[in-house]
């Protein structure tokens, strides 16, 4: 026979049975009258105890809680079998709405009331503790943000701006930010190949969901420029800006493609009329010079595969490198940058595969080094190639060859100065890991665009 225990009192055999819904109904048996009398005795005892307890607690507790009037038929909670359960809320069609008082017909037993009071006190303590933790967290973030590195700490000094970013002053930094600020609210941080999928908020131009950025967009741009200029590792940049190294890597992987896309128009191939408008005196001996070309290499990590190492190993540098073809105008601005290639590729092949040949027009002149023996590539487009003379089988240059070599070198020196500016950005001088190979083209494009924003190598004198 099942039994039911009521508030610690004696067991009542076959008094009530628990249904599937958690309610307790009377079992209509021959013993109904005996059970009713026992229950009446228990309830009378509870009434006496409850009146004493409620008179003491009403003095200390506010009247905003449940009514303390005990109802014999109902209790507020569906308690386990060892507790009171007098009603089924679903059967009574009781509904509660937000802001309303409790709808349990204002009935609580002593045990339920104690639980309610205890729960309310615990909730209040937790709310107070949560508020204090939020205040302390806000104060810590405020203190950390003031101690972290930011653009506000260097914008008043042109020297510091030049040191950290390679830009001449803060106005150039502001101009770069103005070019990308409209794209920043819809920018998706790179977190793997799935990041290439277009999101709904990018199509509808809605606010980006999720938590706010830890760094402002200006400081994220500053972090990216510092990476290009000084090539600091992720751990040090994370310490400077008060973020995690993983976030630093994510910011750099996201901002470099964006800057490459937005600043690429700064790498402009001029027309002949534009080139002749600013034509330095050292090029007067050569007509229609449209470009000066040369190659530069940046070191990368040695791959473990022998085949891959053979493709990027440069015999000129004696180590694995990544090669780039650079062309500049007579006034020293970068007008072309090729895709990155392995160090084992020859200069002639890189010129052929880079697509620079298609940019020349008939009658143009190109200055290059001896390694760029590309006359057969330029002849179909009627482009003149000017390179220093070869010694061939001669023991030494003639006076004419020596004079010509000096003249070409005097004009070609500007491409060396341009490459020198590129190497002012340490990311092109230091060894780069293989996991950044997909960012090499973006790095080269951004750096070339940034040096075009600097003071020109040769003073501009309009013709």
Q: What CATH number is associated with residue 364? A: 3.30.420.10
DSSP at 430:
S
- Is the pLDDT higher at 301 or at 59? 301
Q: Is the model's pLDDT at 29 over the cut of 60?
A: no
Among residues 264, 289, 304, the one where a domain terminates is: 264
Token pair for 348: 């002639």
Does one domain contain both 250 and 296?
A: no
447 within some domain: yes
Range of the structural domain that residue 82 is part of: 3-118
Contacts of 353 (CB under 8 A, 6+ apart): 341
Dihedral over alpha carbons 263, 264, 267, 273 (to 10 degrees):
-100
297 within some domain: yes
Does one domain contain both 317 and 369?
A: yes
Among residues 212, 238, 264, the one where a domain terminates is: 264
314 within some domain: yes
What mean pLDDT value characterizes the chain? 78
| HSE, side-chain direction, 13 A CA sphere, residue 143 | 6
Does one domain contain both 175 and 105?
A: no
Does one domain contain both 30 and 88?
A: yes
313 within some domain: yes
pTM above 0.85, yes or no: no
462 within some domain: no
Contact (Cβ atoms closer than 8 angstroms) between residue 446 and residue 251: no
Does one domain contain both 357 and 253?
A: no
Does one domain contain both 274 and 260?
A: no
pLDDT in tens, 68-119: 444 444 444 444 444 444 444 444 444 444 444 444 445 567 777 788 888 8
Does one domain contain both 199 and 314?
A: no
Does one domain contain both 396 and 278?
A: yes
Among residues 229, 249, 264, the one where a domain terminates is: 264
36-45, 115-124, 360-369, 399-408: segment of lowest average pLDDT: 36-45
Q: Is the model's pLDDT at 7 over the cut of 80?
A: no
Distance of alpha carbon 187 from alpha carbon 199, whole angstroms: 10
58-71 mean pLDDT: 45
Distance of alpha carbon 356 from alpha carbon 7, whole angstroms: 92
SS3 of residue 135 by DSSP: helix
Does one domain contain both 101 and 177?
A: no
Does one domain contain both 161 and 114?
A: no
Q: Is the model's pLDDT at 215 over the cut of 70?
A: yes
- Is the pLDDT higher at 258 or at 100? 258
Does one domain contain both 359 and 395?
A: yes
Count of the separate structural domains present in the chain: 3
Does one domain contain both 62 and 183?
A: no
């Amino acid at each position: 026979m099942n039994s039911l225990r009521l508030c610690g009192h004696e067991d009542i055999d076959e008094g009530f049975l628990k249904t599937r819904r958690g309610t307790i109904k009377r079992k209509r048996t021959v013993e109904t009258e005996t059970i009713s009398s026992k229950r009446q005795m228990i309830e009378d005892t509870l009434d006496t105890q409850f009146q004493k307890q409620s008179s003491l607690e009403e003095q200390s507790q506010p009247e905003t809680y449940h009514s303390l009037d005990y109802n014999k038929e109902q209790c507020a909670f569906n308690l386990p079998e060892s507790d009171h359960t007098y009603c089924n809320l679903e059967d009574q069609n009781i509904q509660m709405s937000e802001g309303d008082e409790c709808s349990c017909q204002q009935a609580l037993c002593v045990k339920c009331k104690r639980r309610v009071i205890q729960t309310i006190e615990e909730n209040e303590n937790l709310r107070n503790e949560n508020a204090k933790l939020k205040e302390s967290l806000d104060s810590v973030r405020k203190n950390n943000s003031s101690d972290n590195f930011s653009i506000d700490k260097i914008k008043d000094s042109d020297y510091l701006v030049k040191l950290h970013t390679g830009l001449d002053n803060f106005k150039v930094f502001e101009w770069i930010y103005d070019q990308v600020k409209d794209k920043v609210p819809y920018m998706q941080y790179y977190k793997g190949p799935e990041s290439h999928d277009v999101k709904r908020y990018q199509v509808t131009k809605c606010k980006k969901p999720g938590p706010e950025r830890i760094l402002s967009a200006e400081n994220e741009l500053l972090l990216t420029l510092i990476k290009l200029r000084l090539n600091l590792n992720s751990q040090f940049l994370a310490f400077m800006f008060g973020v995690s190294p993983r976030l630093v890597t994510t910011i750099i992987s996201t901002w470099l493609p964006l800057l490459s896309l937005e600043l690429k128009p700064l790498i402009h191939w001029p027309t002949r009329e534009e080139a002749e408008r600013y034509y330095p005196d050292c090029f007067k001996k050569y007509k229609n010079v449209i470009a000066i070309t040369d190659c530069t290499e940046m070191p990368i990590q040695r791959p473990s595969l022998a085949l891959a190492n053979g493709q990027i190993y440069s015999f000129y540098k004696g180590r694995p490198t990544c090669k780039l073809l650079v062309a500049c105008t007579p006034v020293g601005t970068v007008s072309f940058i090729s895709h990155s290639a392995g160090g084992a590729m020859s200069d002639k092949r890189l010129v052929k595969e880079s697509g620079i040949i298609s940019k020349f027009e008939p009658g143009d002149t190109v200055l290059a080094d001896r390694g760029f023996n590309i006359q057969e590539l330029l002849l179909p487009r009627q482009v003149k190639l000017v390179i220093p003379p070869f010694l061939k089988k001669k023991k030494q240059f003639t006076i004419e060859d020596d004079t010509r070599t000096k003249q070409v070198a005097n004009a070609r020196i500007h491409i060396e100065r341009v490459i020198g500016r590129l190497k002012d950005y340490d990311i092109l001088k230091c060894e780069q890991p293989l996991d950044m190979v997909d960012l090499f083209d973006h790095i080269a494009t951004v750096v070339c665009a940034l040096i075009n924003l600097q003071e020109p190598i040769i003073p501009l004198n309009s013709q």
